[in-house]
Structure 1
């Protein structure tokens, strides 16, 4: 799950900060320091669903702003998927909404 969380964060930050013609954002960039696999791994081991959701919400918020907000078609779907992820209450329930969020972010890159 840690890799999946890191991937969602990476895709969000790419949408928010990567510009055409610049070098791509990579997993080891300083920008990813709060969203590294090890950070998420600690949260997963602790079972801290709320903090995981908060970190993902931060990234999704940046991506949402980058694609024009929730009033745009891409933004509405991203917001819907993020809301579904945020409504989960247990670690066991995080997988499916997280995969849906990752797949959508990958598609809109």
Structure 2
């Protein structure tokens, strides 16, 4: 799950900050500091659903803005996926909506 969380963060930051013709954002870039796999691993180990949701929400806000917000079709779909992720109550429920967000961001990129 930590890999999926890190990938969602990476894709979101790429969408928000990566400009055509510039260096790509990679997992070891400074912008990924608070969203690396070991950060998510600690949150998962603690069972900190709220902490994970806060981290993902930070990235999703950037991605949503990059897609033009909820007024645009891509933004509306991402918001729907975000809402589903935010409604989960336990770590065990996270995987399916997280993978859906990851796959969506991958397609959009």
Aligned length: 109
Q: Secondary structure at the match of 1:70?
A: helix
How far off is 1:63 after superposition? 0.5
C-alpha displacement of 1:67: 1.0
- Secondary structure at the aligned position of 2:11 is classed as helix
TM-score, with length taken from structure 1: 0.99
Report the Cα distance in structure 2 between the residues aligned to 1:87 and 1:64, rounded to whole angstroms: 18
The equivalent of 1:7 in structure 2 is 7
Moved over 6 A (4+): none
Structure 1 unpaired stretches of 5+? none
Q: 2:82, 2:106 → 1: CA distance?
A: 14
What is the TM-score when the length of structure 2 is the normalising length? Answer: 0.99
Query: 1:70-95 deviations in whole A, cap 9, x for unaligned?
Result: 11000000000001000000000000
Alignment of 1:21-100 (within 5 A): 21-100=21-100
Task: Flag structure 2 segments of 5+ consecutive residues without an equivalent.
Answer: none
**CA distance in 1: counterparts of 2:83 and 2:31, whole angstroms:** 24
Q: Show CA shifts across 1:6-43 (max 9, x none).
A: 00000000000000000000000000000000000000
The two structures, once aligned, show a CA RMSD in angstroms of: 0.3
Task: Provide the C-alpha distance between the structure 2 equivalents of 1:90 and 1:64, rounded to a whole number of angstroms.
Answer: 24
